[in-house]
Amino acid sequence: MMTATSPQIADSSDGQSIYARNMAQLWQHDPVLAMAIDAIPDEQRPEVQETRSGEKTVAIASGDSRPVFLHSRYDPIKEAGQLVDAVVTDDQFCFVVGGFGLGYHILALDHAATTDAIIVVAEPNVALLAAAFATVDFSRVLRDGRLIILHTIDKVRLHDKLRPHTTLLMMGTRFVKHPPSQQLESEFHKTVRAMITDFVAYSRMTLMTLISNSRITCRNIANNIATYATTPSVDVLHDRYKGSPGIVVSAGPSLRKNIEFLKDAKGNAVISAVQTALRPMSKIGVMPDFATSLDFHEISRQYYQGIEGLEQVHLIAEPKATWHVLDNYPGPISILDNQFARLLIGETLAPHAELPAGATVAHLSFYLLRYMGCDPIIFVGQDLAYTANNFYVPGVETHRVWQSELNRFNTIESKEWERIVRNRPVLRKVAGNDGHELYTDELLFTYLEQFEKDIAETPATVINSTEGGANIGGTVSMSLPEALDKYATKRLPEYEDADPPRNWSILPRVLDEIANRVNDVQHLVDVCKKMDVELAKLQELTDDPKRFNQTMVRVDELRAQVNQAQRAYRIINAGSQLAELRRFSSDRRLNADETQGAERAKRQLARDREFVGEITRGGDAMIEILTEALKRVEHRVEANA
């Protein structure tokens, strides 16, 4: 059990110095909140009152004007300790607290929790925060950056504040209710809890996708490295269509309602389609100006096969897209900047402009239109839910795959419903554009969360012409014909340099860079194998300090070699995200573990050996990936000699 320690409380002579110390730290970590607190006049702060134990408490009027005391009038420190004792365990690394009060329970949490834990506090009463900052010293916990205060219902701010701590949130999060605060602002705290729960779900899905796909993503980027280096950057498109309307065409079920109207949009609005919408669009005889690709799976090639008119569609692709698409695409291609690609060939050899990483091709299409200056940006077929219990718009590639299974007892509609109910464990209901609730799943919900954050950061008007699906916060609802009549009233400008040539002469230099990376990674793998041998020796020597220290000298020498091979380490780590996650998790848990002496050393060595082993295995896999890429570049060099 924790033992609560008394916080430093300001008296009338010390109040300004405590307030100044608190605000000096807050300005460094959260200037938005600091500005809001500094704007509160002294006379608007709620009056603090003396308690029997000598600390302060404060009363706030509730909705019926009755005062609600936020802390005990007898012993607020003891009260805070009792609250914290009931919630703190060693396996929690994030506490989400509903209500700040004067902060006694916040300091008690900081004292009781592991040193790596973060504390997120929801508190809408800025005047109360000002009183707390003038009364209790929070400067140390603020200085450590482990105290985050959310004072508004602002999804963008919440994501920005929590994103650096995503892994800690997923390692163990505990929601803590401060009862008096809940009584005063129950709806605010309920909303913040829901937003944080959704953020954790979104982050977990994103991280698990990153981990599970990291190796195949690296393989795709390496195999696309010749295409990456030789194709032009998207920077020629920046603000090219400034002020012109843009349309994101997605392949949700409701696309069937609007797909014919895209004929009227062609030439008057910039159309960027996800790859799964290409076939339905080709069937009505209209092709988009741009298509987007980022899917890593080889099956993506089917979205382009047998479609006429792709020669006039500019493909914008992330280099993680499968090379089966990029190798064979018949039209112009632009590849986006990628950190792993730059690790392979350097920062200056083939510079590319970047767009935000797309969670889906629809997000990438949205980022592209925003990059080109389109205003407004119009969504079509962006359901993000199962409109009318359908998963896809008619005519997509999946329906072609199902053809052999269809009969009078097994229809397209039944196949669609089966596709949905397979997700039963992660289904949830969301508000629809028509005012009714409809089903979505956890993955689609994370995409919705990302769109709402992106839209909040977008200066352009965003119109939702989906006429179905989930309500997307921040958009204006309008039918596609209405949007076209209002905004798509003149022809788009034409550009002669829309398809800049590819630079094949760069390939020999790319070949040299990849060959060097193979050697770099092999060297690091060799060092890690030697280090594992020495770490194994150390595990047997924890009770022999002299020999332990002698062996440690050799480990330090090898560790120095690892530190000198940071580029190779980052390349390996890009394909072995799980190793870094396990290391982070192990470090946090070790910090929380109070075991000392030889036993602690053994646990640290076991952690180190596990990590070195993961890097060694990841390095062997990366050598295989880079060797394959090297052969592909050699083939391109020969073909273009």
Question: Both tokens of residue 628?
Answer: 């394959």
Alpha-carbon span 394 to 252, nearest angstrom: 9
- For residue 1, what pLDDT is reported? 36
Calculate mean pLDDT across residues 432-454: 82
Q: Is the pLDDT of residue 7 over 80?
A: no
The reported pLDDT for the residue numbered 177 is 93
Strand order in the sheet with 67-69: 48-50, 56-61, 67-69
User: Is the per-residue pLDDT at 4 higher than 50?
Assistant: no
Please state which of the ranges 252-261, 360-369, 459-468, 583-592 shows the lowest mean pLDDT. Answer: 583-592
CA angle at residue 55 from 51 to 56, to 5 degrees? Answer: 70
The pLDDT-based confidence of 11 (bands split at 50, 70, 90) is very low
Give the tokens for residue 106.
Answer: 């916040």
Residues facing 500 on adjacent strands? none
User: Which residues, including other chains, have CB under 8 Å from residue 538's CB and lie 6 or more apart?
Assistant: 548, 551, 552, 555, 605
Higher-confidence position of 402 and 182: 182
pLDDT tops 80 at residue 82: yes
| Of the listed ranges 122-131, 160-169, 329-338, 465-474, the one predicted with least confidence | 160-169
Calculate the alpha carbon distances from 378 to 70, 369, 487, 490, 499 in Å: 48, 10, 10, 16, 25
What pLDDT sits at residue 591?
A: 59
Mean pLDDT of 435-439: 79
Q: Is the pLDDT of residue 2 over 50?
A: no
Residue range 213-233: mean pLDDT, rounded: 93
Q: How confident is the model at residue 273 (pLDDT cuts 50, 70, 90)?
A: very high
Low-confidence winner among 47-61, 348-362, 440-454 (lowest mean pLDDT):
440-454
Choose between 38 and 575: higher pLDDT.
Answer: 38
Q: Is the pLDDT reported for residue 486 higher than 80? A: yes
Rounded-to-integer distance, Cα 579 and Cα 211, Å: 9
Distance CA 291, CA 364 (A): 10
The one-letter amino acid code at 118 reads I
Q: Inform me whether the pLDDT recorded for 286 exceeds 50.
A: yes
**Res. 439: pLDDT tops 80:** no
Instruction: Name the CA radius of gyration of the chain, rounded.
Output: 29
Residue 214 tokens, joined: 């990291």
Residue 3's pLDDT band (boundaries 50, 70, 90)?
A: very low
CB contact set of 3 (below 8 Å; sequence gap of 6+): 81
What's the pLDDT score for residue 98? 95
A 10 A CB-CB count for 471 gives: 19
Mean pLDDT (the chain, rounded): 86
Q: What is the pLDDT of residue 544?
A: 79
Per-residue pLDDT band for 202 (boundaries 50, 70, 90) equals confident
Is the peptide bond preceding residue 376 cis, with omega within 30 degrees of 0? yes
Banded model confidence at residue 16, pLDDT cuts 50, 70, 90: low
Q: What is the mean pLDDT of residues 11-32?
A: 81
pLDDT band at 431 (very low <50, low <70, confident <90, very high): confident
**What's the confidence (pLDDT) of residue 604?**
77
Is 417's pLDDT higher than 90? Answer: no
82-86, 265-269, 411-415, 439-443: segment of lowest average pLDDT: 411-415
607 vs 465 pLDDT, higher one = 465
Higher pLDDT, 78 or 423: 78
Nearest to 373 by CA among 246, 498, 273, 531: 246
pLDDT beyond 80 at 139: yes
Residue predicted with more confidence, 45 or 9: 45
Q: Number of helices and strands (H, E) in the chain?
A: 26, 17
Question: Between vectors from CA 128 to CA 125 and to CA 129, what angle results, nearest 5°?
Answer: 90
Rounded CA-CA distance 438/443 in Å is: 15
Q: How much is the pLDDT for 367?
A: 97
Above 90 in pLDDT, residue 510?
yes
Mean pLDDT on 225-242:
94
Q: What is residue 266's predicted lDDT score, i.e. its pLDDT? A: 95
- Provide mean pLDDT across the span 509-520: 96
Structure tokens at 565: 């091979």
**Residue 320: closest CA among 338, 308, 302:** 338
Confidence band of 438 (pLDDT split at 50, 70, 90): confident
Query: In b/e form, how buried is each residue of 596-608, taking b as 16+ CB within 10 angstroms?
Result: eeeeebbebbebb
- Mean pLDDT to the nearest integer, 168-191: 89
